[in-house]
A and B are shown apart, each in its own frame.
Chain A
Amino acid sequence: MIVLCRLRSLWRNLTRRGRVERDLDEEMMAVFQALEDEHVRSGMSPGEARRAVAVALGSATQIKERVRDVRAGAAVEQVGRDVRYAIRMMRRDAGFTAIAVTTLALGIGANTAVFSVVDTVVFRPLPYTDPDALVKICGTGPRDPACDDDFSFAELDGIRRQSDAFEQIAADDGTRANVVRADGSRESLGIGMVTSNWLSTLGVRPLLGRDFTADEEQPGRECVVILTHDYWRRRFNADAHVVGDTLVLDGVTHTVIGVLPPNVIRFYADVLKPLVAAGYSDRSLDVFGRLRPGVTLAQARAGLDIIGRRLEEEYPATNKDRRLGAEPLGKYYVSIQQKAEQGLVLMLGAVGLVLLIACTNVANLLLARAAVRRRESFIRSALGASRGRLVRQFLIESVLLFLVGGTLGLIVARVSLDSLSSLAVSGGYVPERMAVSEDARVLGMSVLVSLLAGLAFGLVPALQASSVDLSAALRDSTQTLTGGSRRGRTRAVLIVSEIALSLALLAGFGLLIRSFDRVYAASGGFNPENVVVTGAEGGRSFPEAVAFWRAALAHARAIAGVTSAAVTSRPPLQNPRRQRFTIDGGRRMPADDAPQADDILVSADYFRTLGIPILKGRALTDADNERSGSVAVISESLARRYFQGQDPVGRRISLLEHAPMSCCSAPHPVDGVWREIVGVAGDVRQANMDEEPAVTVYRPYTQIVEHDMYLVLHADSGPRAGSIAAGLRSQLAGPDHQSDWSNARTMAQMIHDSESIRLRRFVLILLGCFATIAVLLAGVGIFGVASSAVAERTREIGVRIALGATRTVILRQLVGEMMALAAAGVALGAAGMLVVTRLIRSMLFGVGAADMTTYVAVAVLLGAVVLFAACLPARRAMRIDPIVALRSE
């Protein structure tokens, strides 16, 4: 009953505030008037009566205030008043507010943006129903212990028929197709060929339109596509009426029947189309399934093992010793490298440091202001405000400050997210075609962070500002004259930690810059200058392929400005295949234990074109071809490691593996022939510029040909290389119109885009931004501390100048104090640097984690910033007029 009444009153007090107040006013007026009337009637003059009433009742304002205090919802109202007051204070102190809010907006914004990226890639579950029940089915061969996923349709069929562990089993493969658009431009699309139950196995419904139907797997019915969300956005501008449109893939008209939700991705697919069993003879299906409820992964594995053995009996030719297994699907289709994932988490840590620095800075500003506002606290507490109310007032101010900063931070994040995510995609940190977005969790986290930070970093300043212990205050103010108070110490601690944090970030950045430089400058063992690379799919059987590439070579050599041209299966910065090998006369080993080497097929001029030195023997020549004896060139490291000082030239080597896969046929062993080693070439950092060169065997492409090959050209000048790259595709269309030459790129571009550079560039740019922000904030922090020190010590400085201290002494002392703080920060930061640099060790190249040059450089840089920031207020101190300073107190 009482509760109900109080609630009703609360509602009335909050919603009808004006009426409640008016009522109270009138009541008080009536009371005062009535008493006055009585006094006048009893013979007093009106003036006397008014005085007598005032004596008897006290002040109406005070009574009203006490009534307000007991009213329901008084606390809410007081908080409201505190908020209004806080807003007034923020507006009055616009400079302080602007600096604090900008600082926080940068800190919180950067955190929100980076967290959005990391969350999308690392933390957020994929948009599949019950993703834990999804498993990837894989086969392992005797020579390939890794979970391999190349299945034939017959195998898929066998698994589907015999396994009872799965609700559904789906499969897919990737291919490419060309689209000619209305404006005549061609585009190469990634096609995901999927079984009709692919989406339902993942538990995904199309965003628009419908799923594939089972009969669309039949030949002749398959001309339908579902667009990925990314492609739909990029090419159809997210047109809601796209279903029913057509798309011409390789000349065949397809109907768009649906659009996928965001982040349902199949590697590089732009569109999905049905996988037609009848037309599929490859062995490269990826197979995954959804476990029946209650079936464990171990049970599924056991079942698959039995099926694998049955398949071995059924297809002895292809499935000898092949076993089946299963692994959680996880983020299979959208996975990034582990290195990138580590990098992302690292960036999250770095941006967290930035937020910490920003908060420290704001806490520092709040402390400086707390000192100024102690007078206000004195007055308010004299008027009856309790310590609790004062603390609440100051806390509300700082929380408000953080919330405004956080809100602006969200805008900063929104604005920067697009460029950040495209940077992350180009750095290899976010899978292509994945949409990075903030979601409710990220927004919630930002709000929470700002709120908590506001409370945490506002508490000490609030306690200090509201500290109205008079005797302590007097002590403090006398201490100010000799310098150093408790408040001053808190601020000094904050500024020192801020400098230390900035130094750690800056050092990490410095080390990365140096590594980046080293990676770029690292000799890959080849000369990338003026080199142009383009690739083409083979898709031909052996004799035609050789003819095709011979023609292409002849064509390329005829292009003006080309000084040499060569064919290779893998130019530098492309991952080569690895093969096992044995050396004639060396120790015979079982095939599975034989050493491995990179296997690269090249034409005669390859070494000359890329400037790879021939150290011994000779390079391959045009005479090493399909009609001559089998030969090979080996790399220096292979010679050193496996020939132990003996001359390898003239010895024989044999590669044991399968032949490279030619299109549409099962791998079959064709090599295993002994090849005469005719030369030793210099080592090349083949896969990555920051990895040690692998041992390599070069074979003439005319003696064995691979599916995808590359054309490498050397031009007579840099600009010429650029222009050749731009026009190469159309120039080469001659030898074979059907073939799809990829876009030509210069080697310089390839290095620029290579993994070792890409991964570092992203971290470098981000860390650069963070370090810049950190240093600026440290500068602002020092400036703030120095300014308030000067303001507080105006009197002391005035006295000292009056007593004859020269202005240089004053300047030197103030700057000296700030530099002492900086020195403490740098010393503390050295410890922080050790932690940071340990974390980024995997990103370093060519510099140790304890690189003195970098440390000294960043310490000096930070020192310079501190010096500059301290000099501005110190110059003001120098100009203090003793007379003015002493009179002002």
Chain B
Amino acid sequence: MSRDRAALLQGTLDLLILKALAAGELHGLGVSRRIEQITAGTFVVQAGSLFPALHRLEEAGWLASTWQASENNRRAKYYALTRAGQKQLGQETAEWNRIALAIARALEA
């Protein structure tokens, strides 16, 4: 990924994480795979970016974490959207759509 796209990722990472968790709780690796899956492989989130972002979002109160048994019976830390996180996802989605629409229009003009 080029430097420019990494910069883009910075701004959209929070939104992608929130979106990935909208369908249900996931552990850290699960979040990164989910993002890869829903963006059809466009965004590959590195662990070095993912975990700081998860912790930051948790400290902001948008995510909540719990220790649970994973599918292969090991302990893993699962993240889930809080109610504040859902609200935040709604807001950021709306905002993103507004900007995307504006940019698309601008480019068509």
Q: Which residues of A contact B (CB under 8 A)?
A: 1-2, 4-6, 9, 23, 26-28, 30-31, 33-35, 37, 56-58, 62-63, 66-67, 69-72
**Is B98 located at the chain interface by the 8 A CB criterion?**
no
Please state if B48 and A66 are interface contacts (CB–CB under 8 Å): yes
Residues facing A in B45-102 (CB within 8 A) are: 46-49, 51-53, 55-56, 58-61, 67, 70, 72, 74-77, 84
The answer, among B46, B56, B75, for a CB contact under 8 Å with A70, is B56
> In whole angstroms, what is the CA distance A70 to B28 when docked?
17
Set of chain B residues within 8 Å of A5, measured between Cβ atoms: 59-61
Interface centre among A31, A35, A72 (most CB of B within 10 A): A31
CB of A62 within 8 A of CB of B48, answer yes
Cβ contact within 8 Å between B48 and A34:
no
0/1 string, B11-47, CB within 8 A of A gives 1:
0000000000000000111000000000000000011
Smallest Cβ distance from A51 to chain B, in angstroms?
Answer: 16
Secondary structure at the A interface, as helix, strand, loop or mixed, is helix
* Smallest CB separation, B14 vs chain A (Å): 12
Which of A26, A37, A57 contacts B72, CB < 8 Å? Answer: A37
Contact of A66 among B51, B60, B76 (CB under 8 A): B51
Q: How far is the CB of B11 from chain A (nearest CB, A)?
A: 15
Chain B contact surface mostly: helix
CA distance A70 to B13 in the complex (A): 15
Contact residues in A for B58 (Cβ distance below 8 Å): 9
Expressed in whole angstroms, the Cα–Cα distance for A360 and B94 within the complex equals 60
Contact A35 B52 (CB under 8 A): no
In the complex, are the beta carbons of B75 and A31 less than 8 A apart?
no
Among B47, B56, B76, B84, contact of A57 (Cβ-Cβ < 8 Å) = B47
Q: Do A9 and B74 touch (CB < 8 A)?
A: no
Task: Choose one: B53, B55, B76; the contact of A71 (CB below 8 Å).
Answer: B55
Using known A-B contacts A57-B47, A58-B47, A63-B51, determine if residue A34 contacts B59 with beta carbons closer than 8 Å.
no
| Shortest distance from the beta carbon of B24 to any chain A beta carbon, whole Å | 18
Q: Could you say which residues of chain B place their CB within 8 Å of the CB of A35? A: 29
Determine the distance from Cα of A311 to Cα of B46 in the docked complex, in whole angstroms: 100
Report, nearest first, the 8 A-B pairs whose CB atoms are least far apart.
Answer: A5-B61, A9-B59, A57-B47, A70-B52, A27-B77, A70-B56, A66-B52, A30-B76
A33 engages B52 (CB within 8 Å): no
Is the Cβ of A71 less than 8 Å from the Cβ of B74?
Answer: no
Which residues of B lie under 8 Å from residue A58 when comparing CB positions?
46-48
Residues of A within 8 A of B47 (CB): 31, 56-58, 63
Given contacts A6-B60, A26-B75, A31-B28, 12 further A-B contacts (CB under 8 A): A1-B61, A2-B60, A4-B61, A5-B60, A23-B77, A30-B27, A31-B27, A31-B47, A35-B29, A56-B47, A63-B48, A63-B52
Inter-chain CA distance A27–B28, complex, in Å, is: 9
Complex partner residue of A72 from B59, B70, B75, CB under 8 angstroms: B59
A316, chain B: closest CB distance, angstroms? 91
Minimum C-beta distance from A643 to chain B (A): 99
Minimum distance in angstroms from A2 CB to a CB of chain B = 5
Alpha-carbon distance between A58 and B53 when the two chains are bound, in angstroms: 16
Let me know if B59 and A30 touch, CB within 8 A: no
Whether the Cβ atoms of B46 and A6 lie closer than 8 Å is no
Bound CA span A297–B57, Å: 69
- CB pair A1–B52 under 8 Å, yes or no, is no
**Given A2-B60, A62-B48, also A30-B77 (CB < 8 A):** yes
Shortest Cβ distance from residue B107 to the other chain A in the assembled complex, whole angstroms: 34
Q: Contact check: which of B29, B49, B53, B55 meets A34 at CB < 8 Å?
A: B29
B29 neighbours in A (Cβ, 8 Å): 31, 34-35
Question: Are A30 and B74 closer than 8 Å at their CB atoms?
Answer: yes
Among residues of B, the one whose C-beta sits closest to the C-beta of A72 is: B59
Point out residues on B near A: beta carbons under 8 Å. Answer: 27-29, 46-49, 51-53, 55-56, 58-61, 67, 70, 72, 74-77, 84
A12: nearest chain-B partner, CB-CB: B59
Judge whether A1 and B84 touch: CB under 8 Å.
yes
Kindly report which residue of chain A lies nearest to residue B60, judged by CB atoms: A2
Partner of B76, one of A1, A34, A69, A70: A34
Complex interface: chain A residues within 8 A of B61 (CB)? 1-2, 4-5
Q: Known A27-B28, A58-B47; judge A67-B75 contact (CB<8 A).
A: no
18 example contacts (A-B, Cβ-Cβ < 8 A) are as follows: A1-B61, A4-B61, A9-B59, A27-B51, A28-B51, A31-B28, A31-B76, A34-B27, A34-B76, A35-B29, A37-B72, A66-B49, A66-B52, A67-B52, A70-B52, A70-B53, A70-B55, A71-B55
Give bound CA distance, A5 to B47, whole Å: 24
Question: In whole angstroms, how far apart are the Cα atoms of A69 and B84 in the complex?
Answer: 24
Closest to B49 in A: A66
Cβ–Cβ < 8 Å partners of B28 in chain A? 27, 31
User: Bound complex: CA of A69 vs CA of B46, how far in Å?
Assistant: 16
Q: How far is the CB of A6 from chain B (nearest CB, A)?
A: 6
Query: Which residues of chain B are within 8 angstroms of A31 by Cβ–Cβ distance?
Result: 27-29, 47, 76
Cβ–Cβ < 8 Å partners of B60 in chain A:
2, 5-6
Given contacts A30-B77, A62-B48, A63-B51, contact A71 B72 (CB under 8 A): no
- Which residues of chain A are near B51, meaning CB under 8 Å? 27-28, 63, 66-67
Instruction: Evaluate contact between B46 and A71: CB separation under 8 angstroms.
Output: no
A542 to B59: give the CA distance in the assembly, Å: 97
Is there contact, CB below 8 Å, between B76 and A6? no
Residue from A2, A6, A34 within 8 A of B74 (CB atoms): A34
CA distance A622 to B48 in the complex (A): 111
Q: How far is the CB of B98 from chain A (nearest CB, A)?
A: 22
Q: Which residue of B lies closest to A2 (CB)?
A: B60
Closest to A57 in B: B47
User: How distant is the Cα of A30 from the Cα of B29 in the complex, in angstroms?
Assistant: 10
Chain B residues lying within 8 Å of A26, measured Cβ to Cβ, are: 67, 75, 77
Contact present for A37 and B77 (CB under 8 Å) = no
How many Å from the CB of A211 to the closest CB on chain B? 62
Q: How far is the CA of A753 from the CA of B46 in the complex (A)?
A: 84
A9 and B55 alpha carbons, distance in the complex (Å): 10
Which residues on the A side are within 8 Å of B77 (C-beta)?
23, 26-27, 30
A19 to chain B, nearest CB (A): 13
Closest to A69 in B: B52
B59 with A71: CB separation less than 8 A: yes
Residue with the highest number of chain A CB atoms closer than 10 Å, among B55, B56, B60, B72: B55
Q: How far is the CB of B89 from chain A (nearest CB, A)?
A: 15
Closest to B77 in A: A27
**Distance from B29 Cβ to chain A, minimum over Cβ atoms (Å):** 6
Chain B residues with CB below 8 A from A27, complex form: 28, 51, 77
Verify A37–B59 contact, CB threshold 8 A. Answer: no
Which chain B residues lie closer than 8 Å to A9 at the CB level?
A: 58-59
Minimum CB–CB distance for A36 against chain B, Å: 11
A405 to B77, CA, bound (A): 48
Chain B hits for A57, CB < 8 A: 47
Nearest Cβ on chain B to A383's Cβ, whole angstroms: 15
Chain A's closest residue to B28 (CB) is A31
User: Complex formed: what's the CA distance from A63 to B29 in Å?
Assistant: 14
Residues of A within 8 A of B67 (CB): 26
Residues of B within 8 A of A63 (CB): 47-48, 51-52
| CA gap between A31 and B33 in the complex, in Å | 13
Give Cα distance in the complex from A345 to B67, angstroms. Answer: 69
A5 to B58, alpha carbons, bound, how many Å? 9
How distant is the Cα of A33 from the Cα of B29 in the complex, in angstroms?
11
Docked-complex contact A34 and B84, CB < 8 angstroms:
no
Q: Which residue of A lies closest to B72 (CB)?
A: A37
User: A695 vs B46: C-alpha distance in the bound complex, in angstroms?
Assistant: 100
The interface residues of chain B lying within 8 Å CB-to-CB of A4 are: 61
CB A550 to nearest CB in B, in angstroms, measures 99
Closest chain A CB from B7 CB (angstroms): 17
Which A residues are in CB contact (< 8 Å) with B84? 1
> Shortest CB–CB separation between residue A871 and chain B, in angstroms?
57
CA distance A5 to B88 in the complex (A): 14
Chain A contacts of B27 at CB under 8 A?
30-31, 34
Contacts of B56 in A (CB 8 A): 70
Least distance between A46 CB and chain B CB atoms (Å): 16
Residues in chain A near residue B49, CB distance under 8 A: 66
Residues of A within 8 A of B48 (CB): 58, 62-63, 66
Complex alpha-carbon distance, A63 and B52, angstroms: 8
